[in-house]
């Protein structure tokens, strides 16, 4: 081969090498994931991840059995003494002298300093998974969650596209927002996707809200609030305003729901045991409420910025005044730093989250809200009469639906509209997102389950990564109002779909015929039949409704 030919070949090869070396970085930087599934980040709720004392390895929150028993043993003599006394204020003072230090010792692991920083630096999360689930032992990741949300997410988008974030609820949510941002950037880098889906469970919804306020929604395809306190928690609002009330009937209700029957509450009622105990609690509140707040609850939880995310915006000023009058620890500088953090979340998240979410939806992000109802709330505050999921009230997990008090309905005279539940307990028309808010009756807080073909996992698998135009009309099997049978693991519509007068699962000419028979008096329609035949929601069945049913059939 001639030298000139060799030189030409070498030039071509060198040019090719240079070309490839220039192109490869660009290709790598713009790689695209071969999977269509969007990566999904699930943000956990309050106390879902275990906090441990890293020096001993002990679980300190939720506290392990040894810590609880230690507190009980120290408090028990004081309880026995109080029961045997004449119960004057002096007796309750002595009771608090013993019990408050025992509780403070229990809370010492998780309390914060007066400027809102975690007090015990040796306490932290037992687990935190910074990569996708596929990077870790699946059973280890799953063991952190006591429900099946990880299974549901992995089954939906794959382990390599599922991330989970463990929440250290002692940390300022606006600081956690920075970590969520790092997760989102890592997810995009690892998968090659330009956008990710994010789902906030319980307090995780508050963290998602903080992230949105700080970083926006440009990197998100989906925002899903799951049993979330993103608009607060009336229980905390009541307690932070000093409204401590023991609700006897509410206590019975909660026992019944927890046990699945009324056996225990019937025994307590027939023997009068609860009536004998409740006066102690009422008198304790009467005599010692301020002391319990200032010496125990505030040092234990009042300086925790994360707890303040549960405060409804409407109760902020009142609660701030009530709590600040009893927050006597720390220096003026610490107090200033603390209130700056609390005000920052209130002013930039609580006040603005409605507009942030509405703008996100307007710009093409799928915004979905899932709310549970018809369970008793903790019977220790003025909010006990509200219905919820045993932890958060429905009015807040739904973004302000109109909700009947626990055990009641909105009434037969309540005006009908397309967002009124069949049981007349919920009017979703007042929600932030009437067409994008789903309600599940009888489902408890974070009761995600993957135990069969009809379980609620079907719904959550769809909703967390649903397309941008998804709404309550997208899937007939997932209407706005559903009911959950936790014993048999069955999620089903609360009532038949509109127009399905004969309740056979679809709308046909038979439904229009049945409606017409009701109109002319050939058949007396049941209340359920009237409900589904009333297509224009005017509480009357007319030819207009029959025409609307026919229109549904022909499309």
Cα(47)–Cα(110) distance, integer angstroms: 11
Q: How many CA atoms lie within 13 A of 453 on its CB side?
A: 0
| pTM for this entry | 0.87
With vertex at residue 554, the alpha carbon angle to CA 548 and CA 555, rounded to the nearest 5 degrees, is 80
Token look-up 């240079």 returns 18
Q: Dihedral through CA 257, CA 260, CA 263, CA 264, nearest 10?
A: -50
Tokens of residue 542, six digits: 């007319």
Mean pLDDT per block of 10 residues along the chain (555 residues) reads: 39 36 37 73 94 92 89 91 90 95 94 96 92 95 87 96 96 97 98 97 98 98 98 96 91 81 75 82 94 95 96 96 93 97 97 98 98 95 94 98 96 92 96 98 95 95 97 94 95 83 80 88 80 82 89 78
Tokens of residue 315, six digits: 């109760």
Q: Are strands 426-427 and 402-403 parallel, antiparallel or unpaired?
A: antiparallel
Smallest Cα–Cα separation from 419: which of 405, 430, 406?
Answer: 430
The pLDDT, as a whole number, for residue 220 is 98
Tokens of residue 241, six digits: 């305003």
Element (H, E) at 321: helix 316-324
Backbone angles phi, psi at 548, to 5 degrees: -65, -35
Note whether 482 and 440 are within 8 A (CB): yes
Cα(442)–Cα(451) distance, integer angstroms: 17
Give all strands (DSSP E) within 387-468, no chain letters.
387-388, 402-403, 426-427, 437-441
Note whether 99 and 113 are within 8 A (CB): no
Smallest Cα–Cα separation from 44: which of 231, 156, 160, 183?
Answer: 183
Q: 471-476, long-range: CB within 8 Å, 24+ apart, which pairs?
A: 471/435, 471/436, 472/435, 472/436, 472/437, 472/438, 473/435
Cα(459)–Cα(185) distance, integer angstroms: 28
Residue 290 C-alpha from the chain's centroid:
30
The pLDDT, as a whole number, for residue 2 is 39
Rounded to whole angstroms, what are the CA distances from 151 to 82, 142, 146, 371, 481? Answer: 49, 7, 11, 21, 24
Cα(302)–Cα(325) distance, integer angstroms: 12
Other Cβ atoms within 10 Å of 229 Cβ, number = 29
Please state the three-class secondary structure of 112-132 as a single string: ECCCCCECCCCEEECCCCCCC
Note whether 454 and 491 are within 8 A (CB): yes
The pLDDT, as a whole number, for residue 555 is 66
Note whether 430 and 401 are within 8 A (CB): yes
Asked if the peptide bond before residue 62 counts as cis, ω within 30 degrees of 0, the response is yes
With vertex at residue 388, the alpha carbon angle to CA 384 and CA 390, rounded to the nearest 5 degrees, is 75
Tokens of residue 31, six digits: 């790689």
The pLDDT, as a whole number, for residue 383 is 92
Tokens of residue 383, six digits: 């909010």
The pLDDT, as a whole number, for residue 505 is 66
Cα(344)–Cα(148) distance, integer angstroms: 34
Cα(78)–Cα(99) distance, integer angstroms: 7
Longest CA span, the chain: 116
Strands lying side by side in the sheet with 123-125 = 58-61, 51-53, 123-125
The pLDDT, as a whole number, for residue 35 is 65
Cα(226)–Cα(42) distance, integer angstroms: 10
């Amino acid at each position: 081969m001639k030298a000139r030919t060799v030189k030409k070949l070498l030039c071509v090869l060198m040019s090719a090498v240079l070309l490839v070396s220039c192109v490869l970085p660009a290709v790598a930087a713009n790689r695209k994931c071969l999977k269509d599934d969007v990566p999904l980040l699930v943000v956990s709720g309050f106390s879902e991840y275990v906090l441990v004392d890293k020096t001993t390895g002990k679980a300190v929150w939720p506290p392990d059995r040894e810590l609880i028993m230690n507190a009980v043993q120290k408090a028990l003599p004081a309880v026995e003494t109080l029961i045997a006394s004449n119960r004057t204020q002096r007796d309750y003072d002595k009771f608090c002298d013993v019990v408050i230090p025992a509780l403070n010792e229990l809370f010492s692991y998780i309390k914060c300093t007066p400027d809102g920083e975690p007090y015990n630096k040796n306490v932290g999360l037992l687990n935190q998974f910074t990569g996708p689930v596929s990077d870790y032992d699946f059973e280890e990741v799953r063991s952190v969650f006591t429900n099946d949300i990880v299974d549901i997410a992995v089954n939906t988008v794959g382990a390599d596209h599922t991330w989970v974030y463990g929440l250290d609820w002692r940390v300022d949510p606006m600081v956690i927002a920075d970590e969520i941002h790092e997760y989102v950037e890592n997810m995009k880098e690892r998968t090659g996707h330009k956008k990710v889906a994010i789902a906030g469970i319980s307090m995780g919804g508050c963290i998602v809200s903080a992230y949105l306020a700080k970083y926006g929604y440009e990197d998100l395809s989906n925002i899903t609030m799951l049993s979330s306190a993103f608009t607060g928690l009336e229980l905390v609002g009541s307690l932070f305003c000093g409204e401590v009330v023991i609700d006897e009937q509410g206590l019975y209700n909660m026992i019944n729901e927890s046990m699945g029957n009324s056996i225990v509450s019937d025994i307590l009622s027939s023997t009068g045991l609860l009536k004998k105990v409740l006066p102690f609690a009422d008198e304790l509140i009467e005599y010692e409420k301020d002391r319990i707040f200032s010496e125990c609850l505030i040092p234990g939880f009042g300086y925790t910025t994360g707890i303040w995310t549960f405060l409804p915006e409407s109760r902020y000023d009142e609660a701030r005044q009530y709590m600040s009058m009893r927050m006597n620890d720390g220096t003026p500088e610490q107090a200033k730093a603390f209130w700056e953090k609390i005000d920052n979340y209130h002013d930039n998240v609580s006040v603005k989250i409605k507009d942030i979410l509405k703008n996100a939806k307007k710009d093409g992000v799928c915004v979905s809200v899932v709310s549970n109802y018809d369970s008793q709330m903790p019977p220790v505050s003025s909010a006990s009469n509200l219905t919820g999921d045993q932890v958060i009230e429905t009015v807040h997990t739904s973004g302000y639906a109109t909700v009947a008090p626990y055990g009641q309905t909105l009434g037969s005279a309540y005006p009908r509209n397309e967002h009124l539940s069949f049981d007349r307990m919920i009017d979703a028309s007042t929600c932030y997102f009437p067409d994008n808010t789903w309600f599940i009756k009888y489902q408890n807080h974070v009761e995600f389950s993957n135990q069969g073909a009809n379980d609620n996992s079907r719904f959550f698998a769809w909703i967390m990564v649903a397309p941008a135009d998804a709404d309550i009309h997208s899937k007939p099997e997932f209407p706005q109002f559903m009911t959950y049978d936790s014993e048999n693991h069955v999620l089903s519509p609360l009532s038949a779909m509109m127009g399905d007068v004969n309740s056979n699962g679809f709308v046909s000419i038979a439904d229009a015929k049945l409606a017409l028979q009701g109109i002319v008096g050939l058949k007396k329609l049941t209340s359920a039949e009237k409900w589904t035949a009333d297509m224009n929601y005017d509480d009357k069945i007319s030819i207009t409704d029959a025409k609307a049913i026919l229109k549904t059939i022909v499309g």
